[in-house]
Structure 1
Amino acid sequence: MPARFVVVPVWQGAGSARAMSHADGAAAIQGDLPASATIIVDVPVEAGEALDTGVRRYSSLRRVRERTEAALAGVDELAITIGGDCAATVAAVAHASRSGAGPLAVLWLDAHPDLHTPETSPSGNFGGMVLRAISGEGAPGLALDADERIEPGRIVLGGARSIDDEERRFIDEHGIAALTVSELGDPDTVIAALEAVGASRVFVHVDLDVLDPSALAGLSYPLPFGIDTPELVALLRAVVARFPLAGAAIAGFAPGSPAAAGDDLPAILRIVGALSSAPQAAG
């Protein structure tokens, strides 16, 4: 069954000077997706207010989640969510969690683990809290409910190269598998980690900053020593060949200009292709 693409040009979860470029990145990717298989989520123009939650731009982020969930509710095929920043992934994981049977694991490929809460975040930017919200902790309306959340023991991190003390504490406390960039280069190691958490189906999140900056220029948080594009594509193909893919998200494209976006799109479309070639997970 072919994939459906849900484009969510959210930028309010990011905190860099290029935050609004995430909306441009989502639009650039959208331009190369089949229009008949693409749904576009209307993201608020305004930044939004924190409303005493400790999350910057909370009001807009909550509306984005509600609108993304409404868009996904009508999707029976494999849903591949295209951000925007990582905030787009919350509703995507909730949809995957509700839409199938069997233990769901999350493979989080990102230069950052995004495991802060509003109380521990040094910035208040939701982009650094997304995976913690997926595990069920965080601001009301953003953190997943008990029947949707992914237990920390079913999370596999890959490629994180910037981990804060609170994030390290959470990883260690819950025994979360945290694979290095070198380990991502061996798909068998990643598959073994997913098997070890008891996954029967997998949601894959790709923040493009898991890539080395030499592979992609349009990154708002570039960190050296990331994975290269061919290795990432090979890893994704191996994972979706081994496990039913319950859903996927690609986030973090922040091009500096339309011309720069065009230079980066071939690499991103290879990642899209690796994910969209997967068969749909059984419901």
Structure 2
Amino acid sequence: MPAKFLVVPQWQGAASSRAMRLIDGAEAIRGDLPHSATTAIEVPLGAGDAVGTGVARYSSVATVRERVRNALDAVPEGDLPVVVGGDCGVELAAVERAAESAAARGARLGLVWFDAHPDLNTPATSPSGAFCGMVLRALLGEGAEGLVSAAPLDPSRVVLAGTRTMDDQEAAFLETAGVAVVGADALGTALGAAVDALDVDEVYLHVDLDVLDPGELAGIIDPQPFGASAADVTAAIAAASAGRRVVGAGLTMFAPASPDDVVEDQGTVLRIVSALTASTRAPR
């Protein structure tokens, strides 16, 4: 079960004025991946237009969704697809495909969303219009037409991991949605039990690098204090994977400001890549 990497340098889903750093981040990670197992997804050069949807740069984000879907369809059954962003919006197609495949097999899929933010806005609630902040809600079945999963996840099979900042509307949604939340300070000890409680046999692992404390990684667009250590994140990934088949993974939001940041952060990023792909190296 080898890993197959899809590198998607999408920046159009992010809100920050520094979003184009995500291109550099994706390309920096790509340089450390095995060439024969890596596919680069072309991202539109233009920003794109909202076309009345309430999603900034909707047209570009929707185009990338289709391109990622097509690339994922070419990944052989049994291989582990790992999507490398770019912004979090690249995960829509990847998680959607994992959900469709699990349903076809009669499997129970859980999603572990390592992220400082819950990404649970809709076009009506988002203060920025950035799809990056809406993607998990879209995976749950709510959002702009054309950017909603065709195989919505059950909220009771989702864990937010390391989440520590959210908009009021996101907090209100979480009060009744049934999504589990494990704080950054408890990742290393509590995440395994939270995933066990989902009662699933397959998992998709999403890591937005802002789950880390800013002291752990320089290349973050929107750093949030009191994040997790890299050691706790890798331990939590292992706990979430234990006893379950990992059917997909994503790593997003690496945004180095300079080549020096790339060098400084490289070890941490590669440790997380290694944790996400550990199942491909497990003895059969």
TM interval, short-chain normalised: over 0.9
Tell me the alpha carbon deviations over residues 25-72 of structure 1, each in whole angstroms, 9 at most, x when there is no partner.
000000000000001100001000000000000000000000000000
1:106 aligns with 2:150: no
Q: Name the CA distance, whole Å, in 2 between partners of 1:6 and 1:171.
A: 31
Unaligned runs of 5+ in 2: none
The question of 1:179 aligning with 2:185 is answered: no
The answer to whether the 8 A contact 2:43-2:64 is kept is: yes
Aligned to 2:132: 127
Number of residue pairs matched by the alignment: 276
- The answer (yes or no) to whether the contact 1:241–1:278 under 8 Å persists in 2 is no
TM-score normalised by the chain length of structure 1: 0.95
Corresponding position of 1:39: 39
Pairwise CA distance, 1:232 = 1.0
Partners of 2:269 and 2:210 in 1: CA distance:
12
Partner of 2:99: 97
Matches within 5 A, 1:263-282: 263-279=264-280
SS at match of 1:6: strand
CA–CA distance in structure 2, aligned partners of residues 279 and 19 of structure 1: 32
C-alpha distance in structure 2 between counterparts of 1:161 and 1:275, whole Å? 22
1:126-168 alpha-carbon deviations (Å, 9 max, x no partner): 11101001111101111101xx111211110011111111111
Deviation at 1:240, TM superposition (A): 2.0
| Pairwise CA RMSD | 1.2
1:13 to partner: Cα distance: 0.5
Cα offset, 1:192, TM superposition: 1.7
The aligned counterpart of 2:248 is 247
Structure 1's consecutive aligned runs of 4 or more residues displaced over 3 angstroms after TM superposition are none
Deviation at 1:199, TM superposition (A): 1.4
Query: Contact 2:49 / 2:56 at 8 angstroms: preserved in 1?
Result: yes
Query: In terms of mean alpha carbon deviation, does 30-39 or 168-177 score higher?
Result: 168-177
| 1:245–1:279 contact (8 Å) kept in structure 2 | no
Is the 8 Å Cα contact of residues 141 and 153 (structure 2) preserved in structure 1?
A: yes
Distance 1:259 1:181 in 2: 27
**Which residue of structure 1 lines up, in the alignment, with residue 75 of structure 2?**
75
Identical residues among aligned pairs (%): 49
Larger mean CA deviation between 18-27 and 90-99 belongs to: 90-99
Q: CA deviation at 1:279?
A: 4.2
Alignment match of 1:152 (pick from 155, 160, 166): 155
TM-score, length basis structure 2: 0.95
